[in-house]
Amino acid sequence: MCNQKEAPLRIKIGMAHVVTVLAFTGLTGTARAADNVRIGLMLPYSGTFADLGKNITNGFKLAIAEKGGKIAGRDVEFVTLDDESDPAKANENANKLIKRDKVDVLVGTVHSGVALTMARVARSAGIPMIIPNAGADELTGALCAPNIFRTSFSNWQAGYGVGALMAQKHKSAVALAWKYAAGDEQTAGFKEAFEKGGGKVLKHLTLPFPNTEFQPLLTEIASIKPEAAYTFVAGAAQVKLAKDYHAAGLRSRIPLYGAFITEGTLQAQGESAQGLLTVLHYADGLETPRNKSFIESYKKAYGGATPDVFAVQGYDAAQLYLVGLEAVEGDTSKRKEMLKAMENAKLDSPRGPLSFSKSHNPVQDMYIREARGNQNVMVGVAVKQLVDPSPECKMQ
């Protein structure tokens, strides 16, 4: 059993590049080339965040493929693992990748609760970790460490951007969010900016992750009659929320806002999302040569699929690792030097120039976007170069 081989999948990802991928089989692999760079992708490949996991993976692999499928001259092996967005399995899964599969870097994940456990494991193992989505504030707060980086956002940052926009337009709002770290923290960031701008949050309604029984909460919003509503639910659930909100006749009376509510799902949301305003650190309608070439390259590699913020975050996770490993000419044993290079990285991201705060969280513009057709079109900037102050981060 334990000597059974993992079958390498040959995946073509455009530009005639072929990347060798080791599918995770749950078995101990044998005969791995010792000189390959081993990348552990611990992401959701099932459940409500499955598309996010897929797009992060696509973005990550695209950046490597653009480098000829190698990092600093070394071949790359991917070990992928479906974390099922289940915090209860996170400790065992992260340990599998680090101790058994001996990955050189841990990349993951989407769900804040899973990522918090991964970061604890990565901290004690000292293995580099790059977070391509999960926003948990603690990851670049109390849990910050020289080996932990994030290429996405902190939950505070995502909520704060939306609150800044809503304060320009409304005086009162109700929040509706999943009850877990991402929902609680994004709502807190939203409330901070909204109230700083003179608004008042009348109520914070919650439902358990990944529940989508929105109806009773929508009835409550209708009876409170705020000027606007803020929401954080994500992945497949945001399609249902936009549709339910529209069907309840609330859209015209109480405009709905959020960071992610239209991201990657406009086609499935159809009419229900048209015109929604969101604030996020990427807009697919960003008219820069860098973003245009990224979109073109992604489409070519993945059969015409359009990238979203998750693909960008995955792409930048790979760009960041490339900077680190190239600085040490592929020698992963020079960890300190490698982490230093990552800390000082200035990435040419599709979202715009990307650098990192002292806590290793992105410093980035928060764009105002309007859903038009299948695009989140950039219509302004809510906050320029937003830095999460990360007061809890004490980098050793």
List contacts with ligand PHB (CB under 6 A): 110-112, 133-136, 182, 234, 260
Q: What residues form DSSP beta bridges with 192? A: none
Beta strands 37-43 and 74-82 are parallel
Q: Is 243 exposed, middle or buried (0-12, 13-18, 19+ CB in 10 A)?
A: middle
Minimum distance between the CB of residue 323 and ligand PHB, rounded to whole angstroms? 24
- Using N-to-C axis directions, what is the helix angle for 112-125 and 87-95, rounded to 10°? 30
Q: Which helix (H) or strand (E) holds 327?
A: helix 309-327
Nearer to ligand PHB, 235 or 324 (CB): 235
Nearer to ligand PHB, 80 or 133 (CB): 133
Minimum distance between the CB of residue 64 and ligand PHB, rounded to whole angstroms? 24
Nearer to ligand PHB, 64 or 239 (CB): 239
Alpha-helical (H) ranges within 144-211 are 155-167, 181-196
Q: Which helix (H) or strand (E) holds 258?
A: strand 256-258
Nearer to ligand PHB, 112 or 291 (CB): 112
Minimum distance between the CB of residue 185 and ligand PHB, rounded to whole angstroms? 8
Minimum distance between the CB of residue 356 and ligand PHB, rounded to whole angstroms? 18
Instruction: Tell me how many degrees the CA angle 125-111-234 measures, rounded to the nearest 5.
Output: 165
Minimum distance between the CB of residue 342 and ligand PHB, rounded to whole angstroms? 21
Nearer to ligand PHB, 108 or 226 (CB): 108
Write the CB contacts of 60 (distance below 8 Å, at least 6 apart in sequence): 39, 41, 107, 132, 314, 315, 317, 318
How large is the C-alpha radius of gyration of the chain?
20
Nearer to ligand PHB, 13 or 139 (CB): 139
Distance of CA 370 to the CA centre of its chain: 20
Cα–Cα distance for residue pair 258/375, rounded to 1 Å: 16
3-state secondary structure of 16: coil
Minimum distance between the CB of residue 55 and ligand PHB, rounded to whole angstroms? 11
Nearer to ligand PHB, 112 or 361 (CB): 112
Nearer to ligand PHB, 260 or 302 (CB): 260
C-beta of residue 190 within 8 angstroms of C-beta of residue 175: yes
Minimum distance between the CB of residue 136 and ligand PHB, rounded to whole angstroms? 6
DSSP 119-148: HHHHHHHT--EEESS---GGGGTTT--TTE
Cα–Cα distance for residue pair 177/51, rounded to 1 Å: 20
Minimum distance between the CB of residue 54 and ligand PHB, rounded to whole angstroms? 14
Nearer to ligand PHB, 79 or 234 (CB): 234
3-state secondary structure of 51: helix
Integer CA distances (angstroms), 213 to 66, 126, 218, 256, in order: 43, 41, 10, 17
Nearer to ligand PHB, 144 or 328 (CB): 144
Minimum distance between the CB of residue 382 and ligand PHB, rounded to whole angstroms? 17
Minimum distance between the CB of residue 361 and ligand PHB, rounded to whole angstroms? 13
